[in-house]
Structures are given as structure tokens and as C-alpha cells.
Structure 1
Amino acid sequence: MKRGFEIVSTKRDQGLELPKRQTKQAAGYDFQAAEDFVLPSIWKRSFLKALRHLRKGNQLNDEKALLADQSLQPYLVPTGIKAYMQPDEVLMLFNRSSGPFKRRLILPNGVGIIDADYYNNPNNEGEIFVQLINYGLTDYRIKKGDRIAQGIFVPYLTADDEAKPQIQRVGGFGSTKR
């Protein structure tokens, strides 16, 4: 088995579907939400209050700035899916074209990267979560089974003179930050 998808063990009995391509020429595998999920609009939270405050010519104190900044934090929408691949491959997650256009949902990092060693990590079994921000004016209700992102397997290259990393992944999402 070179590459593919599995349902994480904790969600095997929840009727989830593995990602699939929708047409013959499609490069991306559509990922679905594993559960109903409400994505709050950024405009209904502290961010809007901070903008109003700044528009009036006022300075933001540290507390208001922190609250506004936190309101822009993306939400992690679970998929219940994990991906296996070759060591020199990566699964890249992208917006579906309908996400920003019809739903006002975006991946804030532009592209999500799922490394081969994320698969079956001890923290979350390698479950893929899609980071999303709702920049629409109202909260957006994602329903279980809604397609929320697309993933493409891609080989990658490394530099000739690279000092090979020796660290083994020990955690899940964001585990390699220092």
C-alpha cells in the first residue's frame, strides 16, 4: 500500500466516508466534516469591537487587542480521516473552490501540510483536522458529510547538503513547534 486513507478507530462506527475524487480528472480528494460544526463569523466577535474602537481613533489596550486577535483564531473541523503515504510524500490540503466563493470559509494558512509521520501518531492517531475561518457575516453551519477541503498527494525533494533531522514525531497537530 503506497498511499490512501483510513477512518480513525474512534470514529469507525460513525458512518464516515473516505475522501474521494469527484471526477476522472480531479487531482484533489474531497474531505468531509465528521460531525456537525458551527463556524462563528469573525465579524460577530471581539474583532469587530476592536475595529470599531480603532475607527474612532482610540488605541487598543493589551486586553482588547488580545481578545480581537483570539477571535481570528481558526477552528479545527474534524474529518475522522487519517492518511498514509510514502516517506518522501506529503498530503497538501487546499480550499475547495466553493468554500470561499459560496460559503465564505477559508484555510487561513492557505495550504495545510500533512506529513507522512503524522499517520498514527500517539496523540490523535493522525486524524486530519481542517483549519477554517468564516469571514462571512453570519455563523456558518457545517453539516456532517459536507465537503470542507481537498487533499492532493505530492512528492517532495530535499536539499543535497541538508543535515537530516533526527527528531521523531511524538505528537499530533502542531507538535513540532519550538
Structure 2
Amino acid sequence: MSNNILIKKFFGETQPYFNDALHVRKVVFSREQGYDSTIDYDSIDQNSWHIVIYDNNTEIATARLYRNFEQNVYGIGRVAVMHAYRGQNLGKLVMDELIKQAIASGEFRRIILHSQVPAQNFYQKLGFTTVGEIYLEEGQPHISMELQLRVRGFEIAHGFEHNNIMLPIRKTRESAGYDLEICESITIPAQTTMLAKTGLKAYMLANEVLELHIRSSVAIKQNVWCANNVGIVDADYYSNPSNDGHIMIPLYNANNTAVTFNSGERVAQAIFKQYLTIDGENTATLDSRSGGFGSTNK
């Protein structure tokens, strides 16, 4: 795969992109997997959001998102990646784009799909869960799956389920930040930085970030700061295999004596924000997170 990757999203049968989507589907489903090509195109295509990914102007992956008004859900289907381009995160890229579209549209809170059984693990890694039993569709085993759409929020991190942790809240209607409590007491020696545990993890949209700021009362009255000024929690930090996305606050004690914070004390505020990326960035070639705190440092 080259660096000339283009992602095209469109609604309905916009040309020439829709024909490119049909071509990918024909190659994957009909020629490769043996499905009847006459049933691939249907009336759902006219009212769907489609994604087509191009490599050097050649279509290589596609999928569609549609609205099922009878069940009040979104549906994702016709997910296809050309054989030569598999194993390069293009399937995940297509799905991420359609899930973001569903969230942005905001009509329903659930996505359903009908997965071929060999692809079940792929969708489970994206958060989908199985519904019902395996069934045959066009002679091939399938399983129904669904995803409950969540936008952003906090959860208890693995290993802290019994710490009686309270999920963060805002204190006033116009507050930007969610107050973060530490879940274990900590004594920070003078002129020293230590990580304070919150027992929390945060989920958010792919184009969002969680900023960690020290509470003004802690900085001004106790002379303790966030060691890196502003902590950054990326969306892909959530549930990482290293530490489950546990949020820890690097506290620097600028005093000449030790400072103690007790479990349950509010020391920081968390603010969700959107971030921007540059034109032409090829996200398909970027690395995926494989670790936890500080893992992207090389």
C-alpha cells in the first residue's frame, strides 16, 4: 500500500464513487467468495452512507451504513477489502469512519450487522457483541452482531472495581472539567514527581482527546502541579492491553516538604476536546497503540 490513500464518503449512488464501491463488492463477494452478484445491489444502497478507500486512485475497500427505521437502528454491511490489501487495518479504518458517521448523525444508539462467522473476531475487537445463534445466509454461516453507540464517558479501570470509586462529575452547569479524585492516598516528597492513581479510564470519539489539568486550589494553595502541565489521554489509550487505559496524574510537589493527598481528594480536572489533523495525512499507515502510559515514546 502506498502513501497515496484517499478516503471518500458519500451518500446514495453518487458517481463515480458508487460504481467503484460496487466493483470492490463484486470482486470480493462474487468472484472470490462465490455469492450471487445479482443480489449485491439493492434498494438500501440509495439511502446509505458509503465509504470507498483508494490507493493511487484504485478502489481497494468499501462498506455502507444505512438506517433501519423499523428497528430504530443503524446497519453496516457490504464490508469488503481487496485481497491484496488485507491485514493493513483498512477494514478497521472503514468501520471507524462509518461508526463516526452514525454517531454524528445521532438518530439511533445502536448499530447492527450480519457477520460472516470467520470475521466475527474482527468485529468483536471493534466492540460488537453477538446476538442469537449462527445461521446460514446464501449457504454461508453468519452471526448477527450489534454495537451500542457511546460517545464519551468514564469507567472503572480493571483492578479497581472494589475501590469504591465515584465516576467524575461536573460541579456546575457551565463547568468545562470533570473533577478527578485519586483512589489511593499518596505522599509526594519535596521536589518530586509521582503518579497518582484514579482507578478510571475514559472512552471518547476517535477525533477527541482528554486533557488533564491540575485544580487551581491544588496549584495555588498546595503548590503542587501537573508535572507535564497538561496531561493528554488519547482515544486509543482506552482499554489498552498494558493497563486497561488507567488514568494516572503526574503530580509534582514544588514544596520543600512532603505533601500528602488522601484517597477521595479531588486533585485534577478532565476536559474532553476535539483535535484537528492536517490535510493529506494517511492514517492507514500510522501505528496502532500497543501499550499503556507513555508507550508512544520512542
Task: Provide the TM-score with structure 2 as the length reference.
Answer: 0.49
Return the match for 2:255 from 116, 136, 154: 136
Aligned equivalent of 2:171, options 18, 22, 30? 22
Q: Out of 253, 261, 286, which is 1:166 matched to?
A: 286
Q: Deviations over 1:115-174 (max 9, x none)?
A: 000000011000000001001222111100001110100011100022435211010000
RMSD over equivalenced CA pairs, Å = 1.1
Aligned to 1:88, which of 176, 189, 207?
A: 207
Query: How does 1:14-163 map onto structure 2 within 5 Å?
Result: 14-42=163-191, 72=192, 74-163=193-282
Residue 295 of structure 2 aligns with which residue? 175
Structure 2 alignment gaps of length 5 or more: 1-149
Partner Cα distance (1:167, 1:150) in 2 = 29
Q: What's the CA shift string for 1:49-99, capped at 9, x where partnerless? A: xxxxxxxxxxxxxxxxxxxxxxx5x21111000000000000001111111
Higher share of residues assigned strand: 2
- Identity rate of aligned residues, in percent? 44
Distance 1:104 1:40 in 2: 13
Q: Distance in 2 between matches of 1:10 and 1:88?
A: 28
Tell me, what secondary structure is at the counterpart of 2:159? helix
Q: What is the TM-score with the length of structure 1 in the denominator?
A: 0.80
Task: Tell me which of the two structures has the higher relative contact order, counting C-alpha pairs closer than 8 angstroms and 6 or more residues apart.
Answer: 1
When the two structures are aligned, how many residues end up with a matched partner? 148
Query: 3-state SS of the aligned residue for 1:9?
Result: coil
